[in-house]
Every structure is written in structure tokens, then in C-alpha cells.
């Protein structure tokens, strides 16, 4: 799907964003300026060059390309990646990679880090990731990435820490966008309906919101039409990752 569709260049709050996210098919969201990827999907080419990978859960459309990601970085003589996974699946991920080591007779070098909800890991001097709880049909979690700076910008001086955290970008799935599927249908599958985001619009204090994980049942124009009809409080702050549609 990725290669047959025209890719849309997306930049939000100064961060270029690449990848694709199609429910049930593939999710891999890439922030090349930070060298990080959220989930690996089928391992799109650009994901290979990201040093850090955050896995949200064990469904195949989110983790299926993991062995290829590690193997191809090794093939290109790139630094072994750091892969953050939910603690519940860390042992299974290690077993998965060992199976591929045995079959491929290669080292598949990588650093697997398991995080529990609320735990943090320092990726590098200026970058920290923290796991937070998400709700799906199997154990899952999301990740907050903090850019740590020793000197706070003058416009942020005096703001409490929790307000500073809200200032940038939030990624939110929106699998269903119309009335052909109800909110309860979405929840039955551990997903979110766009109407829920609209209903809770006043709770979003981020500068920008990136919607991902749309159902493959939709066409591009249907997604764009639904996203353009957001409440005034979200106007100009909501973006959609539509590569592959």
C-alpha cells in the first residue's frame, strides 16, 4: 500500500512526520529529526534509519516488521537500535528475535528495553521517553517523548511542569470517522471514534494533534472531510496522517 500511493509531506510544530498508519494493515510513525519511530508496521524503508523504536503493543500491524528492522540496520552497518516495548511483552520480543537469529544465523544486535506504565528511559542527553497507559484489546501503552533543555525558553518561564508538557504535539488514533460505526463498535475493538475527540475537544491543550490509524474502509476524501469538520476549539490544530490512502 505504501508504495502505490502518493506520499504527503507533513510537518507539525517544526517536526517533519513520515510513515503511515492504516488500521489492521500497518502503523509506523516516524520523526526523522529525532531519529525515532512509533511502531514498526511492515518496516517501511525510512524506518530503518531511526535509532529508537517505541512499540505500543503486540498486534502484527504494529510489530510485524521488527526482525527486518533490526536485520536491515545490521546489513547497513548502522548502530544497533534501542527498542522500547511494554514490559508484558519484552520476553516474547526477545524470543521472537532469537528465533530469527537461529534461522538467519545472524546476530541481530539491538537493545531491548521493557517499560512499565509510568517508567522513563533516557534515550540520550536531551531526550527522555515515558510510558503511559492506553486501552486496547491486548496490553498496550503509549509514549511521551520529552526534549530536555537546561535553559527554559522565556515564554515558558513560570509555567508549571504539567502545562509545559501540554504545549507540543499529541498523537491520537481515530479509526472510525463516520456513522457507519458507532462509538461502542470502536470500543469493542479497543479503538477511538472521531466523534469522541470532538465531544472532548475542550480537554486537548496541545498545540497540535495528529490523528492516525484510520480504517482502510475510508477513502482519502472521506477522512479529510471528517477531519475538516472539527469544533472551533480544535480548528487549525488537528492534522491527519493519510499516507497510504
pTM recorded for the entire structure: 0.83
Verify that 210 and 125 share a domain, yes or no.
no
Give 85-138 pLDDT, tens digit per residue. Answer: 999 999 999 999 999 999 999 999 999 999 999 999 999 988 899 999 998 899
Q: Output the pLDDT for position 2.
A: 44
Verify that 226 and 119 share a domain, yes or no.
no
As a whole number of angstroms, the distance between CA 133 and CA 118 comes to 8
How many domains in the chain?
2
Last residue of a domain, which of 151, 173, 200? 151
As a whole number of angstroms, the distance between CA 198 and CA 203 comes to 10
Residue 185, in any domain of the structure: no
User: pLDDT at residue 191 above 50?
Assistant: yes
Verify that 123 and 232 share a domain, yes or no.
no
Q: How large is the average pLDDT for residues 29-44?
A: 97
C-alpha grid cell for residue 202? 475542550
Verify that 211 and 136 share a domain, yes or no.
no
Verify that 79 and 196 share a domain, yes or no.
no
Q: Output the pLDDT for position 150.
A: 57
User: pLDDT at residue 186 above 70?
Assistant: no
Q: Which residues contact 58 (CB under 8 A, 6 or more apart)?
A: 89, 92, 138, 139
H or E, element range at 220: helix 220-228
Report residue 184's pLDDT band, with 50, 70 and 90 as the boundaries.
confident
Residue 2, in any domain of the structure: no
Give 65-89 pLDDT, tens digit per residue. Answer: 999 999 999 999 999 999 999 999 9
Verify that 209 and 129 share a domain, yes or no.
no
Give 193-224 pLDDT, tens digit per residue. Answer: 888 888 888 888 888 989 999 999 899 999 99
Give 1-26 pLDDT, tens digit per residue. Answer: 444 566 778 999 999 999 999 999 99
Residue 163, in any domain of the structure: no
Verify that 88 and 206 share a domain, yes or no.
no
User: pLDDT at residue 51 above 90?
Assistant: yes
As a whole number of angstroms, the distance between CA 134 and CA 24 comes to 18
Residue 166, in any domain of the structure: no
Last residue of a domain, which of 121, 151, 181? 151
CATH number for 40: 3.60.15.10
Strands (E), the chain: 10-12, 15-23, 26-31, 36-38, 52-54, 82-86, 111-115, 120-124, 127-133, 141-147, 169-173, 208-212, 214-215, 238-240
User: pLDDT at residue 157 above 80?
Assistant: no
Residue 168, in any domain of the structure: no
C-beta separation of 108 from 100 below 8 A: yes
Last residue of a domain, which of 118, 151, 184? 151
- Residue-number span of the structural domain to which 216 is assigned: 192-239
Query: CA geometry: angle at 25 spanning 225 and 107, to 5°?
Result: 140
Verify that 31 and 116 share a domain, yes or no.
yes
Report residue 230's pLDDT band, with 50, 70 and 90 as the boundaries.
confident
196-to-175, 176, 218, 224 alpha-carbon distances in Å: 11, 10, 18, 17
Q: Which residues contact 91 (CB under 8 A, 6 or more apart)?
A: none
Amino acid at each position: 500500500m505504501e508504495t502505490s500511493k502518493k506520499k504527503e509531506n507533513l510537518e507539525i510544530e517544526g517536526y517533519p512526520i513520515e510513515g503511515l498508519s492504516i488500521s489492521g494493515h500497518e502503523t509506523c510513525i516516524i520523526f526523522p529529526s529525532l531519529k525515532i519511530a512509533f511502531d514498526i508496521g511492515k518496516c517501511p524503508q525510512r524506518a530503518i534509519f531511526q535509532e529508537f523504536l517505541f512499540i505500543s503493543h503486540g498486534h502484527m500491524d504494529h510489530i510485524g516488521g521488527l526482525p527486518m528492522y533490526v536485520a536491515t540496520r545490521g546489513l547497513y552497518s548502522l548502530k544497533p537500535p534501542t527498542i522500547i516495548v511494554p514490559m508484558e511483552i519484552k520476553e516474547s520480543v526477545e524470543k521472537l528475535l532469537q528465533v530469527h537469529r537461529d534461522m538467519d544465523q545472524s546476530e541481530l544486535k539491538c537493545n531491548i528495553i521493557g517499560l512499565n506504565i509510568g517508567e522513563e528511559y533516557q534515550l540520550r542527553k536531551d531526550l527522555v521517553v515515558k510510558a503511559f497507559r492506553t486501552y486496547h484489546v491486548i496490553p498496550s501503552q503509549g509514549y511521551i517523548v520529552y526534549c530536555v533543555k537546561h535553559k527554559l525558553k522565556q515564554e515558558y518561564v513560570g509555567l508549571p511542569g504539567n502545562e509545559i508538557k501540554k504545549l507540543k504535539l499529541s498523537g491520537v488514533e481515530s479509526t472510525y470517522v463516520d456513522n457507519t460505526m458507532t462509538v461502542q463498535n470502536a470500543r469493542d475493538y479497543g479503538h477511538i471514534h472521531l466523534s469522541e475527540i470532538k465531544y472532548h475537544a475542550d480537554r486537548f491543550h496541545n498545540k497540535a494533534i495528529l490523528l492516525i490509524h484510520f480504517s482502510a474502509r475510508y477513502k482519502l476524501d472521506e477522512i479529510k472531510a471528517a477531519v475538516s469538520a472539527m469544533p472551533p476549539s480544535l480548528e487549525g490544530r488537528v492534522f491527519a496522517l493519510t499516507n497510504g490512502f
